[in-house]
Structure formats: C-alpha cells, structure tokens
Structure 1
Amino acid sequence: MFLRFAAVVLALTVVTATPAEAVPALVPAADREVVFTVDGTTTYGTLHVPAHRVGQRLRAALLLPGSGPTDRDGDQPPASRPRTLAQLAEALGGDRVATLRFDKYGTGRTGLGAYRDHPEELDHPAFVRQAGAAYEALRDQPETDPHRLLVVGHSEGAMTGLLFGGTVRPRPAGLALLQPQAIRMLDLVALQLHAQTAEATRLGQFTPEQRRAIDAAIDAAVTALREHRPVDTTDLPPVLAQLFRAFQGASARFVESDDAVYPPDTAAALRPGTRVLLTCGTNDVQIPCATTDALTAALRRAHVEGPGRVPLPGVDHLMHDADHPDTLAPAVLDALHRFTGGSRP
C-alpha cells in the first residue's frame, strides 16, 4: 500500500512539476495603411494581415492592378467598381496569406505624385519601380516572411510583376499571372480592335468592305506609332481615331515604353523553381487564351514550377463568370488555392 501511495505521489509530483505549455495568443485579422516613397512620390496602400499567432511570420503577396487608372481595390471610380484586388486580398487571406495592394500613379491617395506637373513623362518603367518599392515595403513588414513572398498581378499588373520579379531581392517564391498581358501592348490593342470590328460587322454596323478598310487602318496606325510617324485616322471610326490620337498625345511615352516589352522575354530572368500560376478565361475578350501561348512556353523553358497555365471555363477578364458577376468565380478561387496551397512549407 505504501509503495503504491508513494508511486502516486511521485507521479503527481512529476505532473505538477512540468509547467503547462503556453499557447501563443492569436492576433485577429486586420487592415492597416502602409506608406512608402518612390522617385519622390508618397504611395499609399493597404496591408491585410489574416489572423495569426503572436510573432508568426506569414506568407505575403503583393497585388498589382491592371491597366488604366486602377486603384488599390481594383476599381476605376466612378464608372467601374469590380473590387478585383480587394476580392483577391480576401481570397488570399482565407489561405493565410497577407497582402499589400496600393494606389498606383494617377489613382487614389497617391495621385500623380512627382509627375503632377508633367504627366506626359510618366512611363511604364516608373510603374515597375513603384511596384518594386511596394515589394520592399511588404518584405519589411513585421508579420511577413521575406523568404515566402509572392507576386499576384492582374492583366498589365502581371507583366509588371514579371519585369521586376527577376530582379528584386529576395526573389519571389511564386508569381500568379492572372489574365496576363502576354504580348506587346499595341499587338494586343490591334487584336482587341479587330475582334470588335468583326463583331460590329456581324451585327450589321459595318459592311465587309468597311471592315477591311478599318482593319487595315488599325494595322497602319500601329506601324505609324512604332515608327514615330503621325497616325492617319481617315479610315478609322471616330472612337478609334480618338484612341490613337491619345496614344500620340500625353500617353505617348507610356505607350511606347509599354509596347517595347515582349513579356515572354522577361521569363528568362525568373529563378528556376519559382512557382508560377498563369490563368486565362475562356470568356476573356481582352486577353484570349491563345495570346498566352508564347509566355507559357517561355516559362517552361525557364524551368519554373506549376501549377502553370490554368484555363478558366466561362471566366471573363475581371475573373467573373455568368453565375458570379460581382465576385471572383469559383474557378479563380480554386486556381489561387492550388497556387498558395502548393507553396506552403
């Protein structure tokens, strides 16, 4: 009896002598503003940090918007408010990935910044430098793991991510190229305009002869822009004539510098083994899947890892489908989950 009692006391002593293991406190999900300066411009962004343990370092993704005056949420107010980047931040947060999205030049709180008095000098490399500075700001946040950084770009933002993804330090662990600009800008513009002209002809708005004249004028306008000659707008409908005049106006420097980039060439600078997702929507009239063929092949030659190209059935350029006109389509969410899930340690 005494021996059994002594054994029980000893066991109790062992148990009570071992302190209970402390459970790290949880920090709830939150957003906060991040401010950084690049080329004399103060840039404003939103950092979304999902719920995490105190002291935990999280994977983190820089979100890059598409073309035009697209702000940190993926909107072009007041006309267009799809909230593309805000919805991406929410989706990635569900996979415990922190995100930074920012107001690029000409949008939101950032505005034109140092280019306020000479907007005609704003070129595409300026946007690339701004994105690179945002990447560094994300890298330096106390909640992020600098060795598990991701870049998620939509449309033109995907090309921007490709351009700096091979130069920043540390290199991104992964790139998500969502409906990416994958060919030269003016080639893409011509492709889109030819498709619109064909549809207008089908609807009876142009005759076949008018269509041929317009298509020839579009191609001639692209050639003139690349050769720095005035564009002949005689055979162009007024709206297209206005577009090409704008390309030779205040936007000329941006258009020329953007068009100088052939995205497949940028893939060679990526670190072998970088995880890459490339999506294309079958209902995307702005970035048809076929335009991503050369970039897909270049990524393969660069020896990046999957998921690779993922076609999205029924998905449009804003990553919606018929059943989800205001939110990211399930196919998009599934592709993102494959991308982030595969990059977990």
Structure 2
Amino acid sequence: MLSHLAAVVMSLSVVTTTPAGVTPGLVPAADREVVFTVDGTTTYGTLHVPAHRAGQRLRAALLLPGSGPSDRDGNQPPASPNTLSQSADALDTERVATLRFDKYGTGRTGLGAYRDRPEDLDYPAFVRQAQAAYDSLRDQPETNPHALMVVGHSEGAMTALLLGGTVHPRPTGLALLQPQAIRLLDLVALQLHAQIAEAARQGQFTPEQQREVDAAIDAAVTALREHRPVDAAGLPSAIAQLFETFQGTSRRFVESDDAVYPPHTVAALRPGTKVLLTCGTNDVQVPCVTTDALTAALCRAHVGGPGRVPLPGVDHLLHDADHPTTLAPVALGALRRFAGG
C-alpha cells in the first residue's frame, strides 16, 4: 500500500516523470470522520477508504457493533478487542470501503437526544440509527451504491438482518458474525443456565439448588414478558441485579429487542442475497446451536452462500487461544472470502 502520493498540478504541455514506486492516479488509503443526524442525534463515525484509482466507486460495508456500550471500534472500555476496527482492516485487503460509527451511548455520539430521557431509548432507535448510517455510506463519493454490504457482530448481526429487508438499495450481502439468532431473553436465560450449571459442577450449588435457581430464572423471563415485577427471591444476587436492571432504565430497550425473533426477519431479504453466518465453537455467549433456526430460515429464503460457517476454537470476540487480541485467522479467512468472492 502506498504511504503517500504526491499530487502535482501541471500544464498539459509540461512533460513529467512518475517517481519509482508510485502508481499514477492512485489515491492512498485514508480514514475520515463522517457525521450524520438521526432522530435529532448527531452521530459520529469513521469512513475507511482503501487505496483506489481516482474516480473509482468501491464496494462498501456498514459495520455494526454488538450489544451494550460497544463503540465504533467494537470496544467497551476498558475492554478493547477492536472487533470492528480489525474487521475494517480485513475488508481493506479486499478493497472494500467501510463505515463504522458510535451508536447511542458510546464515543462522541453519546446518548444524543436521549440524554435527558434514557428510559425512552429502545431497540428500534438503534435500527433507525443504523439505517441512517447505511444511507450515509451509500452517498459517499467513493462508494458504489449498488454494491453495499452490512457486517454485524452479535446484536449488530440482528440489526443487519433487519436492514437487509428494509434499506434501499438492498445490500448485496450480509455478514452475520456470531449473531444474536434467538430472542434476547431466551439468549440471556440460556447463558444464565449455563453459568449455574458450571457453578453446580464446581460444587457451589446442590442439584436441588440448581433446579430452584433455573426455575427462578425462567419465572423472571416470563414476568418480564408479561410486564410483571420480577420476584428475585430465588435468584443469586448478581442475577437478581441483572433482572432489576432489565426492569429499570433499560426496560423499553429489553422489551423491544426481545420482541424480535431473528429467523422471522429473513423472509424480507432479497432472494440471492449473499449471507455469511459464523459461529465459534468456543462462543459461550452465542453457542452454535442457537443459530440452527436462523440457518434453516436462511435456506428457506433462498439466499446465497456461504451460509453458516463454524469457526473451530473461536470465541464470541472472534479470537482463539493463539490470537487473544486479534481476529483469529479462520475468522479473518471467512470474512475475506465473503467480501472477496
């Protein structure tokens, strides 16, 4: 990749020579800040444009982060896995431009219009923000509006599915990286049951106590869905606090996110849309089994491949034991093949 490019404006009558190692007419790779407004909130993002010929329109991808306060790079300080910034680097090698942005509650964007009323922030607001980001990417002078993709990680993959059936023009491809593939509260319950089972295996709970806690978790999920107060009497304190949070400021978000069943969103996708779905065999947050129904729905919708791609030894952040701070080679390979094929 060129480190710099000298731009010289000369009279046509002047004969010039091109320095060694510099390709005439090649614009070097660069990042720039992109700002757009949605629902009264100014949203800030990073557009990465790979090296390209002057005037060339590039394929481009919108990158969507996972759940919680994950910023444009895929980080939740102090944790900095850089899931999205590293994905942008991987896509650069395939000459794909990328846009990633600070969603509500993160980075320069913050809570925006919801600063004084965070309890009103729901999941559809995040979807609208992602739609506005897609429109912004479409309108960039370096991007080809008819060759757009959406790459989502975890909850961002569910948002990518929703965008795939609603935005215009429709994306040519969706990469669903370790996707939230079942309802939110079902996924939370699955994770909590797994944690309780491990605690019981270590002798922290008797079999009877494990059954009681599992029953209390299921009762709490039912209560939330029926808009009733959660009875935390049978729950360990950490789990009780989690459900208390779900009933507080986050209630509208949790209820509206839980209302989405990802396999039902697939019917709106354009047949032939290229879809990659990854699942890591070491992902305890989104086990591969949770993607079965979504995988079947994608098949019924007649979307294009590669479909589900298991990633051996890979965790939720797309790392493996040998690559704890960077994307695992098998994950990089799947993403690059999706973008390059």
Q: What is the TM-score when the length of structure 2 is the normalising length?
A: 0.93
Greater fraction helix: 1
What whole-Å deviation, never above 9, does each CA across 1:317-338 have from its counterpart, x for those lacking one? Answer: 0000000000000110110122
Q: Name the larger-Rg structure.
A: 1
Quote the Cα distance in structure 2 between the aligned partners of 1:228 and 1:68: 22
Quote the Cα distance in structure 1 between the aligned partners of 2:184 and 2:271: 27
Quote the Cα distance in structure 2 between the aligned partners of 1:102 and 1:337: 21
Matched, 1:284 2:283: yes
Quote the Cα distance in structure 2 between the aligned partners of 1:152 and 1:329: 17
Matched residue type, 1:25: G
**SS of the residue aligned with 2:105?**
coil
Quote the Cα distance in structure 2 between the aligned partners of 1:50 and 1:341: 14
Aligned twin of 1:243: 242
Residue pair 1:24, 1:54 contacting (<8 A) in 2 also: no
Residue pair 1:64, 1:157 contacting (<8 A) in 2 also: yes
1:24: how far off? Answer: 5.2
Aligned twin of 1:118: 117
Aligned twin of 1:63: 63
**SS of the residue aligned with 2:31?**
strand
1:208: how far off? Answer: 1.1
Matched residue type, 1:62: L
Aligned twin of 1:76: 76
Residue pair 1:150, 1:175 contacting (<8 A) in 2 also: yes
Quote the Cα distance in structure 2 between the aligned partners of 1:302 and 1:161: 16
**SS of the residue aligned with 2:98?**
strand
Which 5+ residue runs of structure 2 have no aligned equivalent? 1-17
Aligned 1:86-125 pairs, distance under 5 A: 86-125=85-124
What whole-Å deviation, never above 9, does each CA across 1:290-311 have from its counterpart, x for those lacking one? Answer: 1000000111111100010000
Quote the Cα distance in structure 2 between the aligned partners of 1:130 and 1:340: 24
Which 5+ residue runs of structure 1 have no aligned equivalent? 1-21
**SS of the residue aligned with 2:283?**
coil
1:109: how far off? Answer: 0.1
**SS of the residue aligned with 1:258?**
helix
1:52: how far off? Answer: 0.5
1:204: how far off? Answer: 1.2
1:340: how far off? Answer: 1.0
After the TM superposition, list the runs of 4 or more consecutive aligned residues in structure 1 that deviate by more than 3 angstroms: none
Quote the Cα distance in structure 2 between the aligned partners of 1:24 and 1:302: 45
What whole-Å deviation, never above 9, does each CA across 1:196-255 have from its counterpart, x for those lacking one? Answer: 000011111111111111000000000000000110000100000000011000000000
Matched residue type, 1:61: A
**SS of the residue aligned with 2:56?**
coil
Aligned twin of 2:329: 330
Quote the Cα distance in structure 2 between the aligned partners of 1:282 and 1:206: 27
**SS of the residue aligned with 2:188?**
helix
Matched, 1:53 2:62: no
Aligned twin of 1:36: 36
Residue pair 1:307, 1:338 contacting (<8 A) in 2 also: no
Matched residue type, 2:44: Y
Quote the Cα distance in structure 2 between the aligned partners of 1:31 and 1:48: 4
Q: CA RMSD in A?
A: 1.3
What whole-Å deviation, never above 9, does each CA across 1:91-144 have from its counterpart, x for those lacking one? Answer: 101111000000000000000000000000000000000000000000000000
Matched residue type, 1:60: A
Aligned twin of 1:299: 298
Aligned twin of 2:317: 318
Q: What is the TM-score when the length of structure 1 is the normalising length?
A: 0.92
Residue pair 1:149, 1:172 contacting (<8 A) in 2 also: yes
1:77: how far off? Answer: 1.0
Quote the Cα distance in structure 2 between the aligned partners of 1:313 and 1:306: 19
**SS of the residue aligned with 2:97?**
strand
Quote the Cα distance in structure 1 between the aligned partners of 2:335 and 2:154: 15
**Number of equivalent positions:** 322
Aligned twin of 1:160: 159
Aligned twin of 2:178: 179
Identity %: 82
Matched residue type, 1:139: R
Residue pair 1:46, 1:101 contacting (<8 A) in 2 also: yes
